[in-house]
A and B are shown apart, each in its own frame.
Chain A
Amino acid sequence: MNIRQDVLPVRVTNLTKRFGSFTALDGVSFTVEPGETVALLGRNGAGKSTLIGCLMGFLVPDKGSVDLFGQNVLDLPRDLRAKTGFVPQTMTGFGAFTVGKLIDYIGAFYGRLPPIDPALLRWADLDPKKIVKSLSGGQRQRLAILLAMRHEPDFLVLDEPVASLDPHARRDFMNLLGDYARRTGASVLISSHILSDLERLCSRLLFLRQGCLVLDVPTNVFRATTRWLDHATPHILNDLPLQIIGQRETGLLVHGWSEDVILPEGTTISVPDFEDAFLEITATRAA
């Protein structure tokens, strides 16, 4: 695999996307480094799929830009498009192909390809003679994943890829994805609601709330610096030099905590569960 380390696979700058009067994305900016595995987190309707649509060049931003491999995604040349892979939430179309014929047909658009990774093929476990239309939802999703990874893309985008997979297939796929990223050095951006998978797999977390990127943080930093701070008079915690990312009756969920931060006397510190933290950070709030 030939990856140019000097060019960022992804650069999103001040991205805004509206559908009529509804703002789906509002000034989102971030980059993805080569080899990074990034989780995109947010509630339903937070803008994850819209962001992925803009990232892949399927949707046209109203403001801002998306660059893939240093090139605006709306003018992405064929050789750079071939370095990307995309797994949709559900696979549609191509219903009349047999599995084998579809893999060959789609694969040929990427030029000469190496043989399919045996581990991927084993995991997909699909009968090449079966007609796509006759596959179950989970089998179709495995085919979509196989089609997206077959050409070993440098940047792989997965939009809730495991929602229709059984627990075995899901666990095996997350391991496969991790191995793939490590083996090829590819960048991966994945959106999912299976938080435990994302926490285990991803090196960075992007939290979207109501179309805004509210937190962009490496996973290890998030684990180390996100804490619940509780106090009998919780309002005094508001003045601390920490990013407040959530709150409850007795205290605040903060990001940026360290042993060096001086806390008011009587403050109790606790490590948040990843799911609780997600619920707090991505909770919809009144404007």
Chain B
Amino acid sequence: MASLRLSPLEWSDLRRALGLYFTATFLRSNYMLLMLACWVVAAAVTLWNIHALLRHETLAQALSHANIFNAILVIMLVQSVLQLHANNQIGGSQAPSIPGLALAEARAASIVASVTILGFAGLTSLLPVPFHDALFFILFNAIPYAVQWYAPPREQSGKKGGAILFFGIALMVGQFALIFVSNAAYWMLTRPAVLTIPASIFLFIGLIGSILSLPNRLHDSKSLSPSVHKQPLPVESTRSGPVEPSAQKPLTPYQLRQMLLAPTAPVTFRTDILISLILIPVFLSVFAMIEAFLSHRSFGAAWIKSVGTGCVMLVIGDKWLLDRQHWPLLLVTGRFGSRIKFVQAVFKAKLARMLIVTPIRVLSLVVPYAVLKPLLPTTAFYYALDLIVLAVGMTLCSALPFLLLRSPAKSIVFAFNLAPVLLIQLCSPFLLSLRNAAYLAITALVLGFLSYLFAPYRISRSDWPYDNE
């Protein structure tokens, strides 16, 4: 952990590191900024909306009518942007050898994070709520990033590290569960000062402490060049012959299709089905339990209320168009044919996966909803159909930038890759209406169809990223 007392040299390091923020270097390196800008606008509209509603509604009513998740997302995206910027420097292969660099970057990130959190708390307090409640709300929703920033010191025992990890995961799960509960925001914004002030201090120290632990990453062996850990093949002599062909089993078509979508963190088709079967029922049940506890509703009523937000889980998936470093390697294997055939294979694999996984997710959402609501079987069927079309169409819409631009910037591809999740989240208040869902589904179907048909041609004629930066 860094000392709070700075020497003149450290002050000058800090000034330089701070000076990088909001310069061309910062803007160029941060492909998440575009996304952040979009969501700052969405959050500002939400806050404005709440402010307007408060003229004739109570805070609880206003918060239940507005999509406060937009504001929470901004808090998260700001942390992601700061992390990306700091890691661009600290993650450099020469960074460990540069005296004071990592510490200066960590200190600068902690200052910018503190300023943005206090700024957001100030804006939230305009609702109006007391500043300490607003600060607690903002800090609580930054918990996942406190966990992500944290890098354990090299001398830390495994036991202590395990305990910290467990505590961090517990906080993250709690935060994640609460943001999906509709009146959790009201609950957090109206806690007594005796609770929120000490909790805010604790969370603030935790977040800043986590950011200041960044220099520990320099000694994290995982962050070093992969060649450091490459183990030699068990060869007995330098004059050994070539590897026996029988030792190398060719990849099956199934394995190849999995690699097309997400090679860095592949969620295989079988795993995806398993997750889809349990993800929505388990999470919505947990949210409903918390909601029922906080709002004194029945479990069934709380479950129905969570369905709108639960629709987000229909489109949670991989970064299939963002992570494309593996494409050249797979292309040269020759298993897919020409460039256009290869890109079509990627789209086909994505569509096939979505067509199998989405109905499972939709049914696990709609069947309990239809039973609890209750809905007529035909209505439930059309509703399920709408959601399936919506989710599949929106996922394919990730390729839309390629229809308009030859080589869209990483920030644009990133924004469109996340767009299905965020659009469904934005539309969640309307999704519970069959007619609205149908309109959205038809729009998504048309755009998704256009993407599926034409984007592969455009992508096959653009440059593919083939290095790591």
Contact = CB atoms under 8 A, between A and B. Distances in A.
Interface stretch (A95-103, A250-258, A263-271): A95-103
Interface of B: 9, 12-13, 16, 20, 24-26, 28-30, 88-101, 104, 154, 218-219, 221, 224-225, 227-233, 235-239, 468-469
A8 interface: no
Given A59-B228, A81-B97, A284-B232, A108 B89 contact: no
Nearest to A59: B221
A148 B93 contact: no
A49 B232 contact: no
20 contacts: A22-B231, A43-B232, A44-B232, A46-B232, A49-B228, A58-B219, A88-B225, A89-B227, A91-B94, A93-B88, A93-B89, A93-B91, A96-B88, A108-B12, A109-B100, A109-B101, A133-B28, A284-B236, A285-B236, A285-B237
A101 B88 CA distance: 15
Nearest to A92: B93
Identify the 8 closest CB pairs spanning chains A and B, nearest first.
A93-B92, A45-B232, A96-B29, A86-B97, A88-B93, A96-B28, A283-B238, A81-B99
Interface in A108-152: 108-111, 131, 133, 144, 147-148
Interface residues of A, number: 53
B230 A144 contact: no
Listed residue (A58, A59, A108, A279) with the most chain B CB atoms within 10 angstroms of its CB: A58
Interface of A: 19, 22, 43-46, 49-50, 53, 56-60, 74, 78-79, 81-82, 84-98, 101, 105-106, 108-111, 131, 133, 144, 147-148, 210, 279, 282-286
B358 to A, nearest CB: 36
Given A45-B231, A108-B16, A210-B232, A90 B225 contact: yes
Given A101-B25, A108-B16, A284-B237, A49 B97 contact: no
Contacts of A98: 25
Given A58-B224, A89-B93, A105-B20, 6 more contacts: A56-B96, A56-B97, A60-B219, A210-B232, A279-B238, A283-B239
Contact of B469 (A86, A133, A286): A133
Contacts of A286: 236
A20 B11 CA distance: 40
A147 B90 CA distance: 15
B98 A109 contact: yes
A28 to B, nearest CB: 15
A88 B228 contact: no
Contacts of B97: 56, 81, 84-86, 148
A225 to B, nearest CB: 23
